[in-house]
Amino acid sequence: MSSTPHFIFRAITPAELLPLVHRRDGETKLGEALAADWRDPECRYVLLGIREDIGPRANNGLGGARNAFDAFLPNFLNMQANRFFPAGALHILGTIDHPDADTPLDQATMRERVAELDELVQAVVQPLMEAGKLPIVIGGGHNNAYPLIKAAAAVQGSPVDVINLDPHADCRPLEGRHSGNSFSYAITEGHLRSYAVFGLHRARNSEAILQFLDRHNVHHTFFAEYMLEPGLFQRDVDSFLGKEATPLCVELDMDVIRHMPSSAFSPSGMVLEDARAYLRKVMASPRHVHYVHLPEAAPNTPSQGRIVGKALAFLVHDVVSVRG
């Protein structure tokens, strides 16, 4: 692997956020009231953006995940700071960027670069977890679940439990890192104790992946069942959350949302309200949460950016407002 880093972390200062805020007399927007320092005792959530799509592209997916955080940020900053959202409880840390993202690469090289990205993501988020903060990670591909799981397992001192809402199990072979094998790597390497994935699409998971799920006792459900009985999804999530009290790593792949501009766009899937309810249920449970990860949104036009930006802003608002 090259000694020259291909990914960098950039801190964001409060002064950089203010130009994105549309101020109005008599109102306070979130961008005017967020925690100035993640070390503040009142700050419990730390938001990190990841501007990359090499993980999805290394998995033969669509590009555009590098644009999700920039679509999200102004929408989030212009939400109201009111009684429903403790603005001082959240700090926007910065972004992990991929400056040479447009350089053509073959698949093998892209997968080597994803392994490099893994190291940086873990290095940025692990100190936050060690300090008792809850990272919320926006943008990039689902490849970033692997370093997040590794960081959580290192902090916990044992393999962690993961809950995921996703049309794909992301348990592809260990063929080099990409967005489709975060969980198979984490399971095989012993970082992941118990994996539960809800809403799988039957036509989008190979027989080899299904056999992997069976072999490793992965709790999984299928979206087709929820089409026939809409209330079943909520009951499945409630049942799962009530079975144990162990800490959780929380994953929500934006591919699961119908018509969402994403790395694996689908006209069939859950609605945004299902995704919001999922997060609200998890955050309302008494289980400790190591992190919340919202990857795979991939806007490539201004209109797609408006959809992605508002959707991600709602989801982050749900995460923070439920626990306060």
Q: Which residues make Cβ contacts (< 8 Å) with residue 222, sequence separation at least 6?
A: 199, 200, 201, 202
Dig out the tokens for 175 from the structure: 């063929």
- Per residue in 278-291, pLDDT (tens digit) is 999 999 999 999 99
Q: Which residues make Cβ contacts (< 8 Å) with residue 318, sequence separation at least 6?
A: 276, 279, 280, 283
pLDDT at residue 160 is higher than 90: yes
Q: What is the CB neighbour count within 10 angstroms for residue 254?
A: 29
pLDDT at residue 201 is higher than 50: yes
Cα–Cα distance, 2 to 100 (Å, whole number):
14
Average pLDDT over residues 304-323: 97
What are the boundaries of each domain within the chain? 8-323
Cβ atoms of 258 and 251 closer than 8 Å = no
- Give the residue among 261, 249, 267, 266 at the shortest CA–CA distance from 311: 261
Cα–Cα distance, 74 to 76 (Å, whole number):
5
Average pLDDT over residues 192-213: 98
**What is residue 59's predicted lDDT score, i.e. its pLDDT?**
96
3-state secondary structure of 77: helix
Helix axes 302-323, 68-77, angle to 10 degrees: 60
**What is residue 1's predicted lDDT score, i.e. its pLDDT?**
43
pLDDT at residue 303 is higher than 50: yes
- Per residue in 163-200, pLDDT (tens digit) is 999 999 999 999 999 999 999 999 999 999 999 999 99
**What is residue 4's predicted lDDT score, i.e. its pLDDT?**
83
Q: What is the CB neighbour count within 10 angstroms for residue 157?
A: 6
Cβ atoms of 68 and 308 closer than 8 Å = yes
- pTM beyond cutoff 0.95: yes
- Per residue in 77-102, pLDDT (tens digit) is 999 999 999 999 999 999 999 999 99
Could you please report the per-residue DSSP string of 120-169? HHHHHHHHHHHTT-EEEEESS-GGGHHHHHHHHHHHHTS-EEEEEE-SS-
pLDDT at residue 215 is higher than 50: yes
Name the CATH superfamily for 8-323.
Ureohydrolase domain (3.40.800.10)
Cβ atoms of 46 and 38 closer than 8 Å = yes
pLDDT at residue 109 is higher than 60: yes
**What is residue 141's predicted lDDT score, i.e. its pLDDT?**
98
- Per residue in 37-90, pLDDT (tens digit) is 999 999 999 999 999 999 999 999 999 999 999 999 999 999 999 999 999 999
